[in-house]
A and B are shown apart, each in its own frame.
Chain A
Amino acid sequence: MNTKKNIKKIIIKKPLTLDCGKTINNYPLAYETYGKLNEKKDNAILAFHALSGDQFVSGINPITNKSGWWSHLVGPNKSIDTNKFFVICANVIGGCMGSYGPSNVEPTTGKRLDTNFPVITINDMVNAQYNLLEFFKIEKLFCVTGGSMGGMQVLQFVANYPNKSKTAIPIACSASHSAQNIALNELGRQAIMADQNWNKGNYFNTNSSPTKGLAVARMAAHITYLSKKGLEEKFGRKLQERDNLKFSFDADFQIESYLRHQGSVFVDRFDANSYLYITRAMDYFDLIKEYNGNLSNAFKESKTKFFIISFTSDWLYPTSENKEILIALNASGADVGFIEINSDKGHDSFLLDIPDFLKSIKNFVEANY
């Protein structure tokens, strides 16, 4: 892995009281920006990343040397055109790309925080990132957007700061993490914790991290990002570099090989403890409960113009859950548009080059800027 030394960071002095009750201050928030903030400071878009994402939205991620997670959507002459817009993205707290997270070393002890890191929430992530507005002296963002966990942050941001963004595009998300999604996250966490190398979270000094557990967690999660039809079309029952079954537990099928690969590359860039903390934050997300069972109240004060996007084959954050947000926004009288994009690629669709999806975002941001 490349050095993380050159990652841009701000140290946030202002104390932040977390939902768990603990207060943090002087903590790092790593971020990246694309494009230029104009003189009027009205062209800023705050993008929120998903579970396994980071601040490197576009171009080449300097740590992994791979394309940024939203490079189809964000960049010069892309749907979110960075010749025009100033895109900011921060690594969430709890993450492992430079922001305050379990891999942080506590200066007083010289040790990694690991499981001494507090349990954080989506609300905490959003409140930490709000400091970026002050840092860039932005009075009001043009847009907040993100998919999956990023979409949850969009909803929380508008609920917390009703008039700090002109528009909001929550994508493939939910206002309340479903039992199915909690179950799937728990599967991932248990895989990590079942790995002996996890060592109750204190694996840094043992020189062996729970890579097997984290890889299994990633493999299981990866299946949930796809769809049955997508898997069928891409892999079917095709065999991996062989003509016949081997009568063994090797990766006979292409899908097995693919998942193993996804698992193994993930462990190189992601910290197992971060995975535990971030999935926990997703599970705790329940904006409906936060507003006493009435989601409309979350958006009552807001004048933000919303555009909700879901995908037909997404079974992790299905259209029905996205529509709950739509209904709540309509009930609060908000300005809200909605489209369901046709795609066989499952939840992953929001990260992919899907022309109708890219077009819908371009249409929306261009028409409203």
Chain B
Amino acid sequence: MKKEFKIIAQLIENNTRVLDVGCGDGILMKYLKDNKNIDTRGLEISKNNVQVCIGKGLTVIEGNAEKDLQQFPNSSFDYVILSQTLQAFYNPEKVINDLLKVANKAIVTIPNFGYWKVRSHLLFKGTMPITKDLPDEWYNTPNLHMCTIKDFFNFCSKKNIKLYKSIALHEQKTSNINKMNLNLKNLSSEVGIFLIENEN
């Protein structure tokens, strides 16, 4: 299991109810179910991945987070996970709002567009950045709304979303992000992991 998933798993308490939005082939869900006694549900857009998850005995619904999150009653989960897909939505703000409706807490991870390699790619090569976490060309990327760790940080404070935890991930190493080191972490990290909750 990749490092990012390990960090997400650590953020989640045992014996809770979790919705994994864009659960892929269910690796994280299976881990949470088997090791933390978590009641997991997945929402996944790819039919193939749904088949794989069903075969693992996981409960997964084929669907699109932008349309199908509303079917879940308010606060029906303790946590909802959104791993590196926020940037692919037409309306990320609405998705965040929906996440915080269906669950009390959301764990959102983003590929950081502020990472120095991304910045230097654009600065020196003058073309859209292609990195390990952003492997697609501009003309076929599913990513519509790229953002940086700093963008997400600012977004939360502007929208009154409580940031419980902000973790920077770089080459398997993690560190906490705070106001003091924000600019540095925004430059040095490939992925940002955020545990958020609605203020109200």
Contacts and interface: CB of A to CB of B under 8 A. Distances in A.
Interface of A: 305, 307, 323, 326-327, 330-331, 333, 335-342, 356, 359-360, 363-364, 366-368
B97 interface: no
B55 interface: yes
9 contacts: A307-B54, A338-B60, A338-B62, A339-B51, A339-B54, A340-B62, A356-B51, A359-B51, A360-B51
Interface in B51-72: 51, 53-63, 71-72
B162 interface: no
Contact of A330 (B47, B60, B73): B73
Contacts of B72: 330-331
B149 interface: no
B23 to A, nearest CB: 11
Contact of B76 (A333, A338, A341, A342): A333
B71 A330 contact: yes
B82 interface: no
Contact of A367 (B50, B57, B76): B57
Given A327-B71, A333-B76, A360 B54 contact: yes
B interface, how many residues as a size bin? 10 to 19
Contacts of A359: 51
Given A335-B41, A337-B58, A363-B51, 11 more contacts: A326-B61, A330-B73, A333-B76, A337-B60, A338-B60, A338-B63, A341-B47, A360-B51, A360-B54, A364-B54, A366-B55
A326 B50 CA distance: 15
Interface of B: 41, 47, 50-51, 53-63, 71-73, 76
Given A326-B61, A342-B47, A337 B54 contact: yes
A331 B74 CA distance: 9
Given A307-B54, A366-B55, A338 B47 contact: no
Given A335-B59, A337-B59, A338-B63, A367 B73 contact: no
Nearest to B57: A367
B42 to A, nearest CB: 8
Contacts of A323: 71
A331 B61 contact: no
B71 A368 contact: no
A240 to B, nearest CB: 37
A367 B56 contact: yes
B47 A363 contact: no
Contacts of B56: 367
A179 B52 CA distance: 36
A327 B69 CA distance: 10
